[in-house]
Every structure is written in structure tokens, then in C-alpha cells.
Structure 1
């Protein structure tokens, strides 16, 4: 765990979680859903480089981009609905909560931190994932980027989550696995604990903006280390 600062200027009073790749291991499921969707239109699976580009990007923004790249003669709403359908079919059988992140979540709940989900996934996807993993009851606010003007890397979804929690932006900690998510958190004037989903060094400068960086991603994340840091800054 690499820390950019040991003691923060503002105390952490609330924690906002990204969902996919941070709290649950869902990125492979999304990748499979993308492959099925594109295959329906006779398009080959995305390259690893393109998959990396879309980690942390909202479903709607991704479909808008793919529609333009491939000239798909389909509405964005239909593309989003199809991807969500394929994803749900896959995710129902294969979604797990990262164990160390679950331990961290339990600590936060037991110590009465206000908690939010701020995800780029569609609302129905978020609700389903939280239901099948029994996580919904942990969160005071559950928010999709589709409910705000702009998705990550814009800060809108984190700002809205903080407003609904009733906590100032500067007192929020964001848990993120994606480059776009870290950029959004820092643009929102929030603290950020980053666990890069794509663990490739040298890290992009945006990851280095995080207040805490687990360079090995979720594999290297340890709840006790996160808790120790939080205790010093709450």
C-alpha cells in the first residue's frame, strides 16, 4: 500500500464505493457480455487494449462509443438493454464479492460510516448485483451514473452521492479500481483509495493522484491496512 499522505487535511466521514471491479468481481462478466453483443452484429471481440479503455466507463457511454466506431444501426437504448440482458444472464451464475473488500465494508457498517454505491452500471444491474450478493442493506445511497448529467471521469456521480449522503465532498473517501474513477474522485475534491483493475506499471499519472494506491490491485488489498489508514483520518 502506497500512501501519498499519512494524515489528511479533512477527516473522512463517509465512503463511496464503485461497484464493478472494486466491490464485486464483475469485469470478466461484462467482457463476456460485450463479446456476445458484438457477435450479434458480426463484430469480433474487443481487443485487450480496447477492453482496458472501457474499464470504469458507464454502459451508456460505452455503447455510444461502440455505435460510432462500428456504425451500428441501432439505438443506444436498445444496445444498452441488450448488453444488460446478456450481462444479467452471465452475472446471475458468476458474481462474487471480493473477501477483503467485504471485511472492510463490514467494518465501515459496524462503525456507522454513511455508505454509498456510485457506479457506471445501469440502475437495474446495480440493484440485481446488490441483491444476489446480499449487499444492498449496507448502503444508504445507491446511485447509477445514468442518473446524472455525465458519467466518470466527470465527477457528477460522486457529487450526487455525497449530496444524498449529506456529507461535504471533502469529507468523502472513494474506493475505485479504474483510471476514470480515480480521475472522477479527485475532480470531485474527494479522497481516493485506488486498486487498479489493470495492474500494469508504470501506472498512469491519474492513479498516482490517489491518496492511497494498492499497486497490486484487489489482490494486494488488505482490509486491515485500509482500516488502519482510515482510523488515522476519521
Structure 2
């Protein structure tokens, strides 16, 4: 039985539910190497965390003066990534527990990700998270990627939820900004600790500066329960979730 009132939870995938960034980095490194850009570093990759794959590649074309079209580069990177993801993608243990607890509470959940539909499907199936997370929105399915709110608003629409009743779980500053723009509360679990002070994270209802090492499923569930008891901003106490 759902004891969290009308709350719904929308989860980012990469860097939030699963530690897929090493695979994305390696896929990007291999792709750029094929097109004459050697020595793509992890530090360079970090600038793209939280940004959709399509927007990342569009920036690559300008930054590295690539002549190949976006669609071609997308296909090459996805091919590399799917091979890597199929071999191993690690779910953060406390995040898996969190999803299981939410499922036990019958809380509506969705995944809203900047990854391709194929990549999301492969990861969810490979990790077994697809048993709990059946509503999925990819960046390719909306007009604008994060930090625009489109992907979260579409997830809320598919869940049949009011955006004000949604809580987003995110690891990246563009995702936190997107949640705020969507009028949703946010649990921020920064993937890059050095970015925890970014102004976008200041809008989060719960900011765990220590990232995944600080996140616990029970504490997050307690915070959600407290959120469910609080009235939405601008609404009278009678509108409080029951």
C-alpha cells in the first residue's frame, strides 16, 4: 500500500541508478579516436555528465571540428556503448534497495534519461531494474534535453501525475536544474563531488554532497514521507497529500 500520498518518483539513470559513466566515457573515447581525436580524457568527459548523448555529440562536432553528421556519430557511440553496457553495468546497491522499497509502497516510478532508448532498455534489462521501472522516457523522445524540463514533464504525463507531486532523483547539475524548471522537488546525489556546490544543486530539496556514499535508501524514503506530509508550495494545508 502506498503510504506516501500522491507522490511519484522520477529517477535519472546514468550516474544515479547505475554507475554507467565509465562505460559512456570509454564509448566516447573510442568514438572520438575513430574520428581522429586521440587522448579524450576523463576530465573532458566530466563536462558532459548529465547532458544528453545527442547534445554531447553536437558539442563534439564543434569543439573537435568533426565533419561526420550527428546521426553517424550517435550510431558509432551507441554501438560501442551497448557492447560495454552488455558486459557490465553496476547498480548502486542503495539505489536498488530504494527502488525496491518504493515498489513495495506502490509508489509510481519512471526513468527519465538523456541516454538513447536502446541504451536505457539494455541497462534496465541487464540489471533487472526493468521489473520495477516500466515507464521510461529518453531524451530522443522530447524536444529539448536537460536542463530543459521536457523529459521530466513527459515522465509525469505518462505516470498521470501532477509535476508538483513528483520528486526527481538526480546526480548532475543539468538534471537538478531540469527538475526545478519542471516544478518538481529533487533529491540530488552528485556524481562528481567537486560539483556539489553548483548553483543548480542549491534548488534541490535534499542535497547529499557526499554523493552515493552518503545516500541510503531508508533515509531517502523518510525524506519522501516527510515531503508527502508537507503542503505543496502555494497551496493551503487542506491540499496536503494524504
Interval containing the TM-score (normalised by the shorter chain) = over 0.9
**CA displacement, residues 95-119 of structure 1 (integer Å, 9 cap, x when unaligned):** 0110001111001001011100000
Work out the CA distance in 1 between the residues paired with 2:195 and 2:61.
31
1:194 matches 2:188: yes
2:14/2:21 contact within 8 Å kept: yes
The one of 44, 62, 67 equivalent to 2:61 is 67
Query: Residue 95 of structure 1 aligns with which residue?
Result: 89
Query: Residue 100 of structure 2 aligns with which residue?
Result: 106
Residue 190 of structure 1 and its aligned partner are, at CA, apart by: 0.2
Which structure 1 residue ranges, 4+ long, deviate > 6 Å from structure 2? none
Query: Residue 46 of structure 2 aligns with which residue?
Result: 52
Segments of 5+ residues of structure 2 without an aligned counterpart are 229-242
**CA displacement, residues 28-76 of structure 1 (integer Å, 9 cap, x when unaligned):** 1100111101111121233444322100000111111101111212111
**CA displacement, residues 68-93 of structure 1 (integer Å, 9 cap, x when unaligned):** 11121211111011001101111112
Query: Residue 39 of structure 1 aligns with which residue?
Result: 33
Work out the CA distance in 2 between the residues paired with 1:187 and 1:125.
26
Work out the CA distance in 2 between the residues paired with 1:76 and 1:63.
6
1:209 matches 2:203: yes
Give the root-mean-square deviation of aligned CA atoms: 1.5
Alignment of 1:146-161 (within 5 A): 146-161=140-155
Report how many aligned residue pairs link the two structures. 225
1:174/1:190 contact within 8 Å kept: yes
1:131 matches 2:92: no
Segments of 5+ residues of structure 1 without an aligned counterpart are 1-10
**CA displacement, residues 122-148 of structure 1 (integer Å, 9 cap, x when unaligned):** 001101111101111212411101100
Residue 12 of structure 1 and its aligned partner are, at CA, apart by: 5.6
Query: Residue 13 of structure 1 aligns with which residue?
Result: 7
**CA displacement, residues 159-189 of structure 1 (integer Å, 9 cap, x when unaligned):** 0000110000000000000011000000100
SS in 1 for 2:167: strand
Deviates more, 1:224-233 or 1:26-35: 224-233
1:34/1:45 contact within 8 Å kept: no
TM-score with structure 2 setting the length: 0.89
SS in 1 for 2:194: coil
| 1:114–1:202 Cα change, 3 Å | closer
2:50/2:114 contact within 8 Å kept: yes
Query: Residue 237 of structure 2 aligns with which residue?
Result: none
